Amino acid sequence: MTLERALQLIKGGFSCGIKKELRMALDVWELGFTDRRVRRGEYDGMRRYIEQNPVEARLVKCAADYPYGSASGKFEVDPVPPRLVTSAAKAVASGGSS
């Protein structure tokens, strides 16, 4: 199944349910989404940006305090895809310096 199809099913089901529950015809989602491949060297910055969203929204003072985010340490996080691991990240992971 493509990412586009998966999102269509998730968004469609949610939209239908919320419209029934609220008994209102309203737009729940934006018309589309943009995706692009994450390049080597961007992954860590993007991960930090996402983890900091609850802090920026003032939901918590520290990303680790947000119970639904990966920074909380409550969830098993997939390993970084090998194509995104930089030589500096490999050195840090192996106990060396970058």
For residues 68, 73, 79, 85, the Cα torsion angle rounded to the nearest 10 degrees is: 100
> What is the tens place of the pLDDT at every residue in 5-55?
888 888 888 888 888 888 888 887 777 767 788 887 888 899 899 999 999
Domain holding 50, by residue range, is 39-72
Give the whole-angstrom CA distance, residue 45 versus residue 6.
Answer: 26
**Residue 83's pLDDT band (boundaries 50, 70, 90)?**
confident
Please count the structural domains in the chain. Answer: 2
- Looking at residue 67, the DSSP 8-state letter turns out to be T
Q: Could you tell me the pTM of the whole model? A: 0.52
- Report yes or no on 13 lying in a domain: yes
29, 47: one domain: no
